[in-house]
């Protein structure tokens, strides 16, 4: 007899507006307790300093987390000029100072350099693993942390305001981009030093401020199920394949479908699934059944959804 999970079977997404001073893990734990959910996960860590969009998956929605993590994200942030901190944000110790303050024109002149595919070295205080240990744990222990640079994607970077000692920006970027590194590198390019003073994530794919909810509001709700977004929210950019009842039964049992008849080929074509190695969401009467991969004439279940 299988071990029974604690909590209720809750499936869907909570688009949390994370408050400052809380880790992503703490936020997930709080949502889990409020929803009394058996299983939870999140789609992209936010630093304790940061606020904003933290999509939290519950139950079967955890199977769609990688799709949310890979989505384009939007951040607004403030860079404080004149100090470099060991964490590259306001929580660290000052390790360097500068009296240089960049002008609006100087800042705008370097923005293009930080768009497209760029090389970036993550902060020493990050969750990246080195020989099985988190970089931030090694850094806090006083060890010399050396992280390899990597290529990240920045769709756009805009300067939105300039003040004497700080400037505000908005960035739209891909997975793995560190905004703390972006602030640090821009400051160095401008002949000064700087760190992230404030950071807010305003969008992760389809999750944005319009459908977000705070922890306080979530705790106040009489019907917490009303705050749930459907599992397929994270899958709005992949094709949906309508299937028949017999096909649903096969997928539920982990069996692949063979689309060899002409009408089946037409279904794939109408769904935009003519090429191999494409991922789709199989639906039966509008209900998500499985994430499937198209391999020639074969439709193979990758993640079966038990809703």
Report the catalytic residues. Answer: 47
225-to-35, 42, 94 alpha-carbon distances in Å: 8, 18, 45
Secondary structure letter of residue 68 according to DSSP: H
Please give the Cα distance from 239 to 178 (Å, whole number): 30
Secondary structure letter of residue 256 according to DSSP: P
Closest-CA residue to 186 (of 72, 92, 108)? 108
Residue 241, class by beta-carbon neighbours within 10 Å (0-12 exposed, 13-18 middle, 19+ buried)? buried
Tokens 């560190």 label which residue? 178
Tokens 């004149």 label which residue? 82
- The three-state secondary structure class of 200 is strand
Question: How many angstroms separate the first and last alpha carbons of the chain?
Answer: 22
């Amino acid at each position: 007899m299988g071990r029974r999970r604690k909590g209720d079977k809750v499936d869907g997404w909570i688009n949390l507006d994370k408050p400052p001073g809380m880790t992503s893990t703490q936020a997930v734990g709080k949502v889990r307790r409020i929803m009394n959910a058996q299983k939870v996960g999140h789609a992209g860590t936010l630093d304790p300093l940061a606020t904003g969009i933290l999509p939290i998956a519950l139950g079967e929605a955890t199977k769609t987390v990688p799709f949310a993590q890979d989505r384009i994200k939007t951040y607004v942030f403030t860079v404080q000029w004149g100090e470099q901190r060991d964490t590259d944000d306001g929580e660290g110790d000052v390790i360097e100072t500068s009296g240089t303050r960049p002008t609006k024109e100087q800042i705008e002149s370097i923005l293009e350099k930080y768009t497209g595919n760029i090389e970036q070295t993550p902060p020493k205080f990050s969750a990246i693993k080195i020989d099985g240990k988190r970089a931030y744990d090694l850094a806090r222990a006083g060890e010399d942390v050396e992280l390899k640079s990597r290529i990240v994607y920045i769709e756009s970077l805009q300067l939105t305001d300039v003040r004497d000692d700080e400037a505000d920006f908005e960035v739209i970027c891909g997975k793995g981009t560190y905004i703390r590194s972006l602030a640090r590198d821009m400051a160095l390019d401008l002949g000064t030093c700087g760190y992230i003073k404030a950071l807010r994530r305003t969008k992760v794919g389809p999750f944005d401020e319009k459908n977000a909810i705070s922890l306080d509001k979530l705790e106040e709700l009489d019907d917490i199920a009303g705050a749930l977004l459907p599992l397929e929210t994270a899958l709005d950019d992949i094709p949906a394949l309508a299937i028949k009842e017999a096909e649903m039964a096969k997928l539920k049992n982990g069996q692949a479908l063979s689309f060899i008849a002409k009408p089946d080929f037409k279904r794939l074509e109408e769904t935009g699934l003519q090429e191999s190695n494409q991922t789709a969401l199989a639906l039966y009467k509008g209900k998500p059944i499985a994430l499937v991969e198209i391999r020639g004439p074969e439709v193979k279940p990758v993640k079966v959804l038990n809703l």
